[in-house]
Amino acid sequence: MTFQPIIASGNSDDDSDTSVVIETRPKTKKPPLYKVLLLNDDYTPMEFVVLILERFFGLTHAQSFEIMLTVHKKGVAVVGVFSHEIAETKVGQVMDFARRHQHPLQCTMEKE
Ligand code: TYC
């Protein structure tokens, strides 16, 4: 945890206005992060999943192929971890792209 100094204006006898650190307190909490998960199904083509991972998550072909295979074998995998807003955008992009191509691919997000 990081600490923020609290600055107080020191009023010393000689009337000089000096600022001194008198204590510290915990800084404001970091915003929560969200895992974006990709789910397996029996119908979405493997190449389509690889394309999605490259296009919307900026992964290389090799990284995308590896994650796609993990989902295919295990049923689910974490694709990335993002702020709430970014995670929501990624899920929306994936779901929209899959729907437009009539594939049943599912993508969800979950608080880390
Ligand atoms: N199981 C699919 C198939 O055999 C491939 C697939 C992988 C689908 C990952 C979805 O998230 C997924 N064609």
20-57 confidence digits (pLDDT tens): 655 677 788 999 999 999 999 999 999 999 999 999 99
Name the band, by pLDDT with cuts 50, 70 and 90, for residue 18: low
Whether the pLDDT of residue 16 is over 90: the answer is no
pTM over 0.85: no
Tens digits of residue pLDDT in 52-92: 999 999 999 999 999 999 999 999 999 999 999 999 999 99
Helix, strand, coil % over all residues of the chain, rounded to 5: 40, 35, 30
- What is the 88 CA–ligand 1 centroid distance (Å)? 22
pLDDT computed for residue 72 by the predictor = 98
Per DSSP, which regions of 1-48 are E strands? 3-11, 17-26, 34-39
Q: Nearest C-alpha to atom 7 of ligand 1 is from which residue?
A: 72
pLDDT computed for residue 4 by the predictor = 41
If one compares 15 and 26, the residue with the highest pLDDT of the two is 26
Residues in contact with ligand 1 by the CB-under-6-Å rule are 38-42, 44-46, 49, 68, 71-72, 105
